[in-house]
A = this chain, B = another copy of it.
Amino acid sequence: MRPEESVMHPLEKMFRPASIAVIGASADAEKLGGRTLWHIKELGFQGRIYPINVTAREVQGLPAWPSVLDLPEVPDSALVVLPAPLVEKALRECAAKGILHVQVLSSGFAEEGGEGVAMQARLMEIVRGSGMRITGPNALGSISPPDGFFGTFSSLLATARPGPGHVGVATQSGAYGSHIYAVAGFRGIGISRAIATGNEADLDVAACIDYLADDPGTRVICASLEGCKDGAGLRHALLKAAARRKPVIIMKVGSTEEGAAAAATHTGSLAGEDRIIDAVFRECGAWRASSIEEMLDIAYICSIAPLPPCDGVGILSVSGGLGVLMADAAIHAGLKVPPMAPEVMARILEIQPVAGGRNPIDTTAQLNGRMHIFESISQAMMQGAELGSVMFYLAHLGRNVPRFPPLEQALTALRQGFPDRLVVAVMTHVDEIRLKLEAVGIPVFEDPTRAVRAVAGAAHLRRLQAAALAAPEVPRAARRLTGPVHEAAAKALLAEAGVPVLPEQVCATAEDAVRAAGRLGYPLVMKILSPDIPHKTEVGGVLLNLTTAEAVAEGFAELMRRARLHKPEARLEGVLLTPMVSGGVETIIGVQRDPVFGPMVMFGLGGTSVELFNDVAFATAPLTPERAEALVASVRGARLLEGWRGAAPLDRAALVAALCAVSCFAVAHRDEVTGVEVNPFLVQVKGGQALDALIALEDDAARH
């Protein structure tokens, strides 16, 4: 059952309990159980607190109970902060008492391997069937600053307590989470809810995103994963947030081989192909951040301001050099910096005759107290180009409290006059000025490049959200394939699925081949046909440009000889004869079944572009034509399809149709097909052709 389908989301009572048991509560605030209780008791929680301690009748001034079984009510939630060997019994008692929401903060389970794995499995046996949901083990707990609830032992709270606000945080790692809360606190970014899920024996980060997507107190979600076991759940949660137009900024560590190896040691879960994760995040409308700082920069914008409606950014700067720096950064980050229309530029030059540039606009520092011109210039800019954002570079004016009011006026007027645009101030500043601007929805940054990158993140989020869409449902195929599938059979299956293939003929003898050649017409290509030879070129199993009957007969004999030489045990079914085509551009269409995310499409160009330039892109299967078009466009080499160096443009629609057909075939046969590769798929001026195809089945792998 998906969390949302229950009447109440299990995380609701973990973030906002009316009553809570702290199992393992201690009088000693140095101990985890003592600190957790102290945080709940002292930092503003208004509900009922039940310390559970086997011996003490009072803990930190509160009445204590030996077991949850003794409690006068069934608390909404419980936190388990016991040594690992005691957790099983405690959880059993929670189940008996009917406590439905338990966070297991204790460590010493699957993350340590060995016996810990078995202990964690035993916890899940208790959970299953009891109706209970848990986070952890090895979790950090949850906080809800607007409610004064801090259900965690994080020592961070001693020196840096996150304030209330609108950023929701869900991380797997507790340290990752507490780093985020800490830095958010230093920067004055308020938190709505935050949670770290630890080993994720039950509830995972996806479930937390799912909750936060619905939580009215949360405007933007920061999430961090180390691995993912439930691809469908993650997709579902991200798509829900995108549908609610709630930005999700997400990180996943292990993006390099070295990092993935370390992550595997650390979490015991395989990281998978990083570009598949990229594709899933992107397709589900989330922005993948590469640093915690970037994540918080974007979350900061999203928590107080709208996402920019388009990629155009206007830059108004008191310094030419800084304006150019920001324009460069904007272009590098994928934004647009459109020049102001001439008539608007003329108006701006009337206001400030020494102004330079058409965007960025350099007001120069020669303002002599005429700070009010920022208002008229920035208002004019909105007419001069299609701008989703306007950024002001104001040097050190943000430290000049007496001179700032006209600038505050200009910024506020722009923000209020264009409520759907993003207005950002970049300057060194004092808190007084920053807080005033934030209060009217204007983010303030110190570093120009960071500001631009954060604006770009927000703009990209808007575009990703708008494009996010669940993959269409494809029913399972009625017939389950059995293998192995040789080339001709693979092509026949794909042809049936709508992929264009050339006429071809399976020929068991040289005589058959000569007869078929006459029908097919010369020149011809001849390939060895054997279910045991998937990579024909490796055995010299392909002959090109056969132009006569003699060549066909000799070719047959030659291929048989080569096959027997290189792979004597191979079952030979003859040869495959097909007309030779030339012209067009060779592409590769592949589908691989990912263990977490299911069939994923891979697209690239033939030749060296995939191997040398890594010019390949991934998308979830099945593709829609729009997604297939976006997939093709995301490959740099796709420009070759547009009519390269004066050549005629190629039939992109045929390629898109083939991508969709291959992807739907793979999804229809998702139970047994582990991979499909059409390599090459030749895109021609009119149409396209699958020149070779491979279909790998689960039982193929079993056989090897």
Contact = CB atoms under 8 A, between A and B. Distances in A.
A320 B267 contact: yes
Nearest to A448: B292
A328 B254 contact: yes
B613 A322 contact: no
A639 interface: yes
Contacts of A155: 396, 400
Contacts of A428: 156, 160, 179, 182-183, 186
A226 B262 contact: no
A269 to B, nearest CB: 12
A176 B321 contact: yes
A666 interface: no
Interface in A123-172: 155-156, 159-160, 171-172
Contacts of A644: 608
A399 interface: yes
A322 B319 CA distance: 38
A640 B257 CA distance: 23
B251 A325 contact: yes
Interface in A304-331: 318-325, 327-331
Nearest to A291: B449
A255 interface: yes
A266 B362 contact: yes
A86 B155 CA distance: 64
Contacts of A254: 324, 328
Contacts of A366: 107
Q: Which of A179, A356, A637 has the most C-beta atoms of chain B within 10 angstroms of its own C-beta?
A: A179
B159 A400 contact: yes
A395 interface: yes
Contacts of A172: 321
Interface size class of A (residues with CB under 8 A): 35 or more
The quantity of this chain's copies bound in the complex is: 2
A266 B324 contact: yes
A256 B327 contact: yes
Interface in A323-371: 323-325, 327-332, 337, 354, 356-360, 362, 365-366
A253 B173 CA distance: 39
Contacts of A266: 320-321, 323-324, 356-357, 362
A255 B321 contact: no
Interface string A200-232: 000000000000000000000000101000000
A358 B258 CA distance: 10
A250 to B, nearest CB: 13
Contacts of A587: none
A509 interface: no
Given A266-B362, A613-B613, A636-B612, A322 B179 contact: yes
Contact of A357 (B171, B176, B262): B262
Contacts of A224: 321
Contacts of A293: 447, 449-450
Nearest to A430: B159
A178 B324 contact: no
Q: Which of A159, A160, A258 has the most C-beta atoms of chain B within 10 angstroms of its own C-beta?
A: A258
B291 A450 contact: yes
A85 interface: no
Given A182-B396, A182-B428, A396-B156, A256 B328 contact: yes
Nearest to A453: B291
Interface in A242-272: 251, 253-259, 262-263, 265-267
Given A292-B449, A360-B262, A447-B183, A322 B255 contact: no
A545 interface: no
A547 interface: no
B399 A332 contact: no
A626 interface: no
Nearest to A396: B156
B328 A291 contact: no
Contacts of A255: 328, 332
Contact of A321 (B173, B320, B323): B173
Nearest to A337: B258
B609 A612 contact: yes
A608 B644 CA distance: 10
Contacts of A186: 428
Nearest to A225: B321
A538 to B, nearest CB: 10
A153 to B, nearest CB: 10
Contacts of A365: 174-175
A671 B182 CA distance: 62
A160 B265 contact: no
Interface string A600-642: 0000000111001101000000000000000000001101100
Interface in A419-449: 428, 430, 446-449
A26 to B, nearest CB: 15
A112 interface: yes
A46 interface: no
Contacts of A182: 396, 428
A290 interface: yes
A175 B318 contact: yes
A112 B353 CA distance: 10
A281 to B, nearest CB: 15
B331 A259 contact: yes
Contacts of A179: 322, 395, 428, 448
Contacts of A171: 321
A266 B322 CA distance: 11
A174 B322 CA distance: 10
A78 to B, nearest CB: 22
Given A160-B399, A265-B357, 18 more contacts: A155-B400, A159-B400, A172-B321, A175-B319, A175-B320, A175-B365, A175-B395, A183-B446, A253-B321, A255-B328, A262-B360, A266-B356, A266-B362, A291-B329, A292-B447, A294-B449, A609-B613, A613-B637
